[in-house]
Amino acid sequence: MPPDAAQKGRDARPFPPGEYPLVVVGSGPGGLQLSYTLTRLGVAHAVISADPAPGGMFRRFPFFQRLLSWTKPYAPAERGTRAYERYDWNSLLAEEPENRALQAGLMDGSSYFPSRAEMELNLATFAERAGIVVRYGCRWEATRRESTAAGDRFVLETSDGEYRCRVAVFAVGVAEPYVPPTPGLEHAPHYAETRPAETYAGKRVFIVGKQNSGFELASGLLPWARAIVLASPSPAKLSVVSRSLVGIRARYLQPYEDHVLAGGVAVLEASIDGIERTGEGETLRVTVRPSAGGDAVTFEVDEAIAATGFVAPLRDLPALGVATFGASRLPAQTPFWESATVPGIYFAGTIGQGAAGLKKHGMPANSGAVHGARYNARLLGERIAEKHFGVVRAGRRLAESEVLPFLVEEISRAPELWHQRAYLARVVSFDPDLGISDAGILPLAHFLDTVGSDALAATIEANAEGALYPVIYVRTSGRTEEHVLPGHPLHDFSTAEHRRALVSLLAELGAASHKPRTGEPAGRHQGS
Amino acid sequence: MAQAIELADELAGLALFADLPNPQLQAAAHEFEEAWFGEGERILRQGLTGSGFYVILDGEVAIRAGGRDVALLGRGDFFGEVSVLLGEPPSADVVALHAMRCLHLAAPAVHEFLLDHPSVMYRILLDQTRRLRNTTRARG
């Protein structure tokens, strides 16, 4: 609710326009998790949001009101523990036990996929209980740079006035509808403009796009539409085949089964040549060209919907120098989610998937989903605190006897490693002067491309054949080698075989010879 | 599928995809993923498993072995195919010399893509043959 001029004098909202060390834009999961971390680290910052309340995209989507990401009320790990986070994809992370695993307590038991409303409540409850302060109803509109005597500033022009800051974080999601320049696509409302399902009763519906949004619509329209066609040039990817979040999720596979059983849904590999109104104007004629070759095919339908994806709403940041790439126009980022081309601008939340990491074996990280982005945001908060505000967290010193059980526990249960495979790593430093210390969770790409003291990085990784296994990267004398540990049918990485492998690698690092000098504190290894 | 049409137009200008008709170009634009690397960033890392196949859209990379740049590649060039086809980790680093935009296809998808698009396979074969000839000449 932007105030009018008369109201401005008595506007009780926090963070009025002005100068702040750091400004965070957005109040979805990314903005909330980052603000939580920054506050706990004592970094002063302002959070502004165009929305009237927390929740980000979950205030509106998914269209059919049920999430794709699960929270298991009953799981192999006790609710509220760190290990439980592996089974709860939707709660944000908190240090206080009472603020953890909130989503599980806010579900009605009808599904282990929360409803959209339950997810929105989960985020609002977290924001309220954790005391996250946001100036709502304040829309970021433009950005520029300014040189001052005190140094360079970003100026964020908003509906409420100007904010100046040294560091800006944009947690603005990837939810701006995108419509490609296909002739006639103006006749196809975007996914975001889909009407209530019952208004499609008895109609023939053509859906442009075969990703999750297209299949979500098709699933929701199955009880209503007379016939459904989904088309895009390449074959539909299925998550159960890709073994990742890339692909249509199992929940939305019903239209696909309907297609293969010839029940009234058609899933086509074809590019769209054009969409036009028929002479009478009441129906649409859609012409497609099969990817496999052959003649164009024409469909007459009653409705068309463009499930053609979303892009990041970066406004004028590209004009400021922020490089973007790819289908979603994501900003190019460093492994710590900083713009690769404009230092001082960072990204949190789903937009952080622009820092793609290694994508080993083609397996992406889960940075586009809450259960990946929440760890990125926590790490980003720590990074910004250290780099820009001098808040350095000393690494926890480990006794030599602690290292093996610590690593076994991490590869067995660390949710950061399980959710962000081959992307986030547990790093243990073996510094000849400072001894052995836990250097924390770090982006794997950062560890691999940074020169530093002897250290190891532990990850969980997967390949396209479905194998899941720990990988240990050992850095000695500036050279890093990859060691793939065996998998296990039940993903038990605490076996004698795994322990033996770890002992051998620790011997390579000469753990026994790295004893700190008396009285010296442990520190984070160089480059962390 | 955002921007796939624009990307298909871009692919049409690269020798590797020059023989593909438009619907297949659009399908290829969907199959490959766009990626971006900053100056000095490693795209392939020597000795690490799980790499992929890359086609350069903009920018330049160096193939770096033993701390020495042994080759430079630019727009339209590709790399990573040796590691993918042999199922072995890369034997050299590939480093972006400045901001570099490219297409990426993960190793497990390369086999099927090449079988589905023999003209692309033929272009790769031509390139490899030229490299082999040049190496042989250099040694001879």
Look at residue A519 and tell me whether its pLDDT is greater than 60.
no
Look at residue A384 and tell me whether its pLDDT is greater than 70.
yes
Q: Domain A185-308 classified CATH 3.40.50.720?
A: no
Q: Which residues of B touch A271 (CB under 8 A)?
A: 22-23, 26-27
What burial letters (b/e) apply to A401-434, b meaning 16+ CB within 10 Å? eebeebbbebbbbbbbbbbbbbbbbbbbbbbeeb
Question: Would you say the CATH fold of A185-308 matches that of A16-174+312-387?
Answer: yes
Instruction: Note the pLDDT tens digit of each residue in B100-136.
Output: 999 999 998 999 899 989 999 999 999 889 888 988 8
First to last CA, chain A: 42
Query: Is B90's Cβ below 8 Å from some Cβ in A?
Result: no
Task: Mark yes or no for CB contact A359/B3 under 8 Å.
Answer: no
Of A180, A358, A362, the CB nearest to B1: A180
- Rounded Cα–Cα distance for residues B4 and B8 (Å): 6
Query: Is B106's Cβ below 8 Å from some Cβ in A?
Result: yes
- B89 to chain A: nearest residue by CA? A482
Task: Choose among A421, A459, A424: nearest CA to A442.
Answer: A424
* Cα of B107 to nearest chain A Cα, Å: 6
Residue B84 one-letter amino acid: V
Interface A–B counts its CB contacts (< 8 A) at 122
Q: Which residues of B touch A181 (CB under 8 A)?
A: 5-6
Q: Are A250 and A259 in contact (CB under 8 A)?
A: no
What is the structure's pLDDT at A159? 98
Task: Mark yes or no for CB contact B38/A289 under 8 Å.
Answer: no
Question: Binning pLDDT at 50, 70 and 90, where does residue A291 land?
Answer: confident
Structure tokens at A233: 């040039």
Extract the runs of DSSP E, i.e. beta strands, from A281-361.
Answer: 284-290, 297-301, 303-306, 310-311, 324-325, 330-331, 345-347
The side-by-side arrangement of strands in the sheet containing A151-158 is: A18-19, A161-165, A151-158, A140-148
Q: Please give the mean pLDDT across all residues of chain B.
A: 90
What's the fold here for domain A16-174+312-387? FAD/NAD(P)-binding domain (3.50.50)
- Rounded Cα–Cα distance for residues A516 and A431 (Å): 8
* Cα of A234 to nearest chain B Cα, Å: 5
* Cα of A40 to nearest chain B Cα, Å: 32
Q: What is the mean pLDDT of residues A243-259?
A: 90
Query: Is B64's Cβ below 8 Å from some Cβ in A?
Result: no
Residue A357 one-letter amino acid: G
Q: What is the mean pLDDT of residues A49-65?
A: 94
Which of A213, A242, A359 has the highest number of chain B CBs within 10 A, making it the mutation to test binding with B? A359
Question: Binning pLDDT at 50, 70 and 90, where does residue A292 land?
Answer: confident
Instruction: Note the pLDDT tens digit of each residue in B14-34.
Output: 999 989 988 888 888 888 999
Residue B15 one-letter amino acid: A
- Rounded Cα–Cα distance for residues A388 and A235 (Å): 46
- Domains in chain B and their CATH numbers? 1-31 (no CATH), 37-108 (2.60.120.10)
Instruction: Note the pLDDT tens digit of each residue in A392-428.
Output: 988 899 999 999 999 999 999 999 999 999 999 999 9
Look at residue A270 and tell me whether its pLDDT is greater than 70.
yes
Q: What is the ipTM for the molecules in this complex?
A: 0.92
Task: Mark yes or no for CB contact A180/B26 under 8 Å.
Answer: no
Q: What is the mean pLDDT of residues A313-318?
A: 96
- B2 to chain A: nearest residue by CA? A327
- B113 to chain A: nearest residue by CA? A234
For chain A, what are the domain ranges? 16-174+312-387, 185-308, 399-513
Instruction: Note the pLDDT tens digit of each residue in A115-172.
Output: 999 999 999 999 999 999 999 999 999 999 999 888 899 999 999 999 999 999 999 9
What is the structure's pLDDT at A526? 37
Query: Is B115's Cβ below 8 Å from some Cβ in A?
Result: no
What is the structure's pLDDT at A123? 98
Q: What is the mean pLDDT of residues A362-389?
A: 97
B window 65-84, beta carbon within 8 A of A: none
Look at residue B1 and tell me whether its pLDDT is greater than 50.
no
Strands A227-232 and A265-277: parallel
Choice among A125-129, A299-303, A378-382, B8-12 with the minimum mean pLDDT: B8-12
- B28 to chain A: nearest residue by CA? A234
Calculate the CA A314 to chain-centre distance. 16
What is the structure's pLDDT at B25? 87
Task: Quickly count: other Cβ atoms within 10 Å of residue A249's Cβ.
Answer: 16
Q: What is the mean pLDDT of residues B52-63?
A: 96
Question: Binning pLDDT at 50, 70 and 90, where does residue A7 land?
Answer: low
Of B3, B31, B41, the CB nearest to A180: B3
What is the percentage of chain B residues whose pLDDT exceeds 70? 96
* Cα of B1 to nearest chain A Cα, Å: 5
Indicate the SS3 state at residue A360: helix
Which stretches within A14-115 are classed as H helix?
Answer: 29-40
Question: Would the pTM count as exceeding 0.90?
Answer: yes
- B101 to chain A: nearest residue by CA? A325
Query: Is B23's Cβ below 8 Å from some Cβ in A?
Result: yes
What is the structure's pLDDT at B71? 93
Q: Which residues of A touch B24 (CB under 8 A)?
A: 291, 293
Secondary element (H or E) of residue B84: helix B81-86
What is the structure's pLDDT at B4? 61
Instruction: Note the pLDDT tens digit of each residue in A87-97.
Output: 999 999 999 99
Q: What is the mean pLDDT of residues A454-465?
A: 94
